[in-house]
């Protein structure tokens, strides 16, 4: 692996020495770490007893970060990365595997699933508001038995605060720089003897971090998000209970993030938008059908609309009049838009033994998407198309745990999925496919005293399909590109086979917890996103290429240390090596078809870290300081452009005064420049249309004050 920076080594050394010096205090006060329970698997399991590489972020950590959306809390998780390609970061990679963006092709199954209270958000990850969220759980690696292809590379599970027996209400508000402001209400209580309810409302707004110099406005990349959640828990009897969830999320966000000068000043005359409206509901039940068995059933549906558009040339029609360097050239005046209407229905029914040894289940998922696409260009003309896509999945799954001895258990699981889909568009392109998918795991656990050792073999398969944009445009391509894409019109099923060993252990009378994992994942027919520019036909063509195998391996280490009742530390490290065997691409710089051999995968930095501490001055006042960073990484395969690595510092102060709680927070204190997405192509007439790296900037230094009043 690449050399970790001296900055990282200094940070790690500092915290280790600080932790060592605090050990004496730990022995005197004998503190212990609060137990965390993971809810995303078949059974609720304490984090330190879960034989998976799992991370959890508590509501307290969310609050201290001042985080309002999932992207603002991600960075403390080892081997997790994300791409923005919109107003919010909704394309997630775990251990280097995941999607980078979505345009015309109906990529309905993200490699990393996102669930919110038993509702699969799918491609609606932008709706992952954190107001009222009790815990974020990140499961790394294939979740072959429990989630199948919905958790192909891992899963992110959001668990909100459940209804309570006693009535309580929380009012919240906050404000910060760049026009940040939020206002929220959460109320909960018993509606009668066996019915509990919770209602959550929030509005979150901000101007964004871009100044549009042409329009002379500072909110062309603004966000405005409204969130509604309703929950009911109904205890019908001692043996039967129901839970109901209702969600409405609406965002009216701008999208004006790209600059020819790679700065936060834009020159667009048609700022884009990234608007999303989601209605979702679920009903779930638990029925104790005997002393030995429970039947769990859940049904969810969601209906969403996403209106995504951007200024495709990034400038205005008078740009060259003010910049004499491009008077000999001209810029295209172009815009591109995507309107998606999506519907999803999911049914999951399973039987399990009360002693948690046996699970058997049945799963159905039906998805439908209508896409209206439009591209208007002065250079290339106007183009519009409409498409319809539907997919259906049936699955049978089961798991059994064998007790080999008092300390040794073997868990075996298997999942079979039948997948089919249909696609048609106004270009008269029609396709359908059917295939069988297999997933599952074999896991061995050895538990003694405060130590858990585990080893596992897990498989997941992600369905193949047709590269619809490539296929529909094949007849318009120039001859060399037609020949090149002949074996790329469809992408094949990707199979992940993950081998993993792990250790979880408490030390110092439960004052220190260690979680470590080593993994190696084989990607058979890896689905890798690529692009090519056919200058002769004037076509940008995006597609998934599955003609190469790949491998991903590395390690994850997480440490929590409660030095005494006032002082706690945390450390997380992720190490990752990725490799694609042989991928043929059209290289923009070489203007030729080339092979990428033994290249790193996109959005897969070799190392990441997060380290920090929290100190309580007294029962009312506490301070938290965090440091984080990651290595550089590629962001595509048709070029060698990379996103730079970075290091950041965050800090927050929390003050409790009776029923009022104040949090003063700051993220990226040193105002580090970093990027959350990248592009590589020729976009600037001023340099004679030379290929360049363009980057979508991450958030600069932000700070604010949040207040809550609970009664």
Q: Is the distance from CB of 179 to CB of 207 less than 8 angstroms?
A: yes
Q: What is the pLDDT of residues 542-573, one digit of tens each?
A: 899 999 999 999 999 999 999 999 999 999 99
Question: In the 8-state DSSP scheme, what is residue 20?
Answer: H
pLDDT of residue 327: 65
Q: What is the pLDDT of residues 582-629, one digit of tens each?
A: 999 999 888 899 999 999 999 999 999 999 999 999 999 999 999 999
Report d(CA 639, CA 531) in Å as an integer.
10
Question: In the 8-state DSSP scheme, what is residue 217?
Answer: B
Query: Cβ atoms within 10 A of the Cβ of 187, count?
Result: 16
pLDDT of residue 105: 76
278-287 average pLDDT score: 97
Q: Is the distance from CB of 651 to CB of 699 less than 8 angstroms?
A: no
Minimum mean pLDDT range among 109-113, 379-383, 455-459, 667-671:
379-383
Q: Is 363 left (phi over 0), alpha (psi -120 to 50) or beta?
A: beta
Q: What is the pLDDT of residues 396-451, one digit of tens each?
A: 999 999 999 999 999 999 999 999 999 998 888 888 889 999 999 999 999 998 89
pLDDT of residue 5: 44
Residue 22 has pLDDT above 50, yes or no: no
Closest CA to 133 of 232, 202, 58, 39: 58
Q: What is the pLDDT of residues 312-332, one digit of tens each?
A: 889 988 887 777 777 666 677
> Structural domains in the chain?
6-710 (2.40.170.20)
Residue 18 backbone phi and psi in degrees, to 5: -65, -40
pTM score over 0.85:
yes
pLDDT of residue 379: 77
34 pLDDT band (50/70/90 cuts)?
A: confident
**Pairing outcome for strands 490-491 and 494-507:** unpaired
Report d(CA 684, CA 260) in Å as an integer.
6
Q: Is the distance from CB of 265 to CB of 238 less than 8 angstroms?
A: no
Helix then strand then coil, % of the chain, to nearest 5? 10, 60, 30
Q: What does the block give as tokens for 686? A: 């001023």
215-243 average pLDDT score: 95
**Pairing outcome for strands 334-353 and 358-377:** antiparallel
Query: Cβ atoms within 10 A of the Cβ of 383, count?
Result: 12
Residue 279 backbone phi and psi in degrees, to 5: -115, 130
Q: Where are the extended beta strands (E) located within 142-259? A: 154-160, 168-176, 181-192, 195-206, 211-212, 223-235, 240-255
């Amino acid at each position: 692996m690449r050399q970790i920076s001296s900055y990282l080594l200094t940070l790690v050394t500092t915290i280790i020495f600080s932790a060592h010096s605090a050990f004496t205090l730990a022995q005197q006060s004998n503190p212990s770490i609060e137990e965390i329970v993971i809810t995303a698997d078949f059974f609720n399991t304490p984090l330190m007893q879960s034989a998976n590489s799992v991370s959890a972020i508590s509501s307290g950590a969310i609050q201290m970060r001042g985080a309002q959306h999932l992207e603002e809390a991600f960075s403390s998780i080892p081997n997790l990365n994300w791409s923005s390609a919109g107003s919010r970061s909704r394309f997630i990679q775990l251990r280097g595997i995941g999607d980078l963006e979505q345009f015309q092709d109906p990529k309905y199954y993200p490699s990393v699933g996102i669930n919110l209270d038993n509702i699969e958000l799918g491609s609606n990850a932008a709706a992952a508001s954190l107001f009222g969220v009790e815990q974020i759980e990140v499961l790394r690696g294939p979740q072959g038995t429990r989630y199948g292809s919905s958790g192909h590379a891992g899963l992110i599970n959001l668990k909100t605060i459940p209804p309570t027996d006693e009535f309580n209400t929380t009012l919240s508000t906050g404000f910060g720089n760049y026009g940040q402001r939020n206002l929220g209400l959460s109320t909960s209580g018993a509606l009668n003897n066996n019915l509990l309810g919770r209602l959550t409302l929030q509005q979150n707004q901000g101007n964004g971090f871009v100044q549009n110099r042409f329009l002379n406005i500072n909110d062309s990349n603004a966000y405005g998000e409204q969130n509604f959640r309703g929950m009911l828990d109904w205890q019908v009897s001692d043996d039967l209970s129901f839970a109901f969830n209702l969600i409405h999320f609406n965002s009216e966000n701008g999208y004006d993030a790209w600059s020819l000068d790679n700065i936060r000043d834009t020159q667009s005359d048609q700022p884009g938008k990234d608007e999303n409206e989601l209605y979702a509901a679920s009903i779930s039940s638990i029925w104790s059908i005997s002393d030995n068995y429970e039947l769990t059933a859940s049904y969810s549906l969601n209906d969403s609309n996403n209106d995504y558009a951007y200024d495709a040339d990034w400038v205005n029609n008078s740009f060259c009049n003010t910049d004499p360097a491009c008077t000999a050239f001209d810029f295209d005046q172009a815009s591109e838009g995507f309107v998606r209407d999506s519907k999803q229905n999911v049914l999951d029914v399973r039987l399990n033994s009360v002693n948690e040894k046996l699970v058997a289940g049945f799963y159905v998922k039906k998805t439908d998407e209508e896409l209206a696409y439009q591209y208007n260009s002065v250079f290339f003309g106007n183009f519009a198309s409409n498409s319809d896509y539907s997919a259906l999945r049936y699955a049978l799954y089961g798991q059994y745990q064998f007790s080999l001895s008092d300390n040794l258990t073997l868990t075996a699981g298997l999942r079979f999925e039948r997948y089919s889909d249909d696609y048609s568009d106004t270009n008269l392109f029609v396709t359908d496919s059917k295939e069988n998918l297999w997933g599952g795991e074999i896991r061995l656990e050895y538990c003694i005293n405060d130590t858990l050792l585990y080893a596992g073999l897990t498989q997941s398969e992600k369905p193949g399909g047709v590269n619809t944009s490539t296929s529909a445009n094949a007849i318009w391509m120039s001859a060399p590109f037609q020949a090149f894409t002949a074996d790329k019109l469809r992408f094949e099923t990707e199979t992940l086979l993950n081998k993993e060993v792990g250790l979880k252990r408490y030390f110092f009378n439960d004052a220190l917890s260690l979680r470590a994992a080593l993994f190696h994942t084989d990607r058979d027919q890896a689905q890798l996103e690529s692009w090519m520019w056919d200058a002769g036909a004037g076509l940008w063509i995006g597609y998934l290429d599955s003609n190469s195998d790949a491998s991903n391996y590395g390690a994850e280490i997480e440490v929590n240390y409660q030095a005494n009742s006032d002082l706690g530390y945390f450390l997380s490290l992720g190490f990752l090596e990725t490799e694609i065997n042989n991928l043929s691409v059209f290289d923009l710089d070489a203007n030729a078809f080339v092979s990428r051999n033994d290249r790193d995968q996109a959005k897969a930095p070799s190392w990441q870290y997060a380290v920090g501490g929290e100190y309580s001055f007294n029962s009312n006042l506490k301070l938290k300081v965090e440091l984080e960073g990651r290595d550089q990484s590629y962001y595509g395969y048709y070029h060698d452009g990379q996103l730079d690595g970075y290091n950041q510092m965050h800090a927050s102060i929390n003050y409790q005064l009776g029923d009022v709680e104040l949090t003063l927070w700051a993220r990226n204190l040193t105002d580090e420049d970093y990027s959350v997405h990248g592009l590589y192509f020729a976009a600037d007439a001023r340099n004679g249309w030379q290929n360049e790296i363009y980057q979508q900037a991450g958030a600069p230094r932000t700070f604010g004050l949040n207040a809550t009043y609970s009664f």
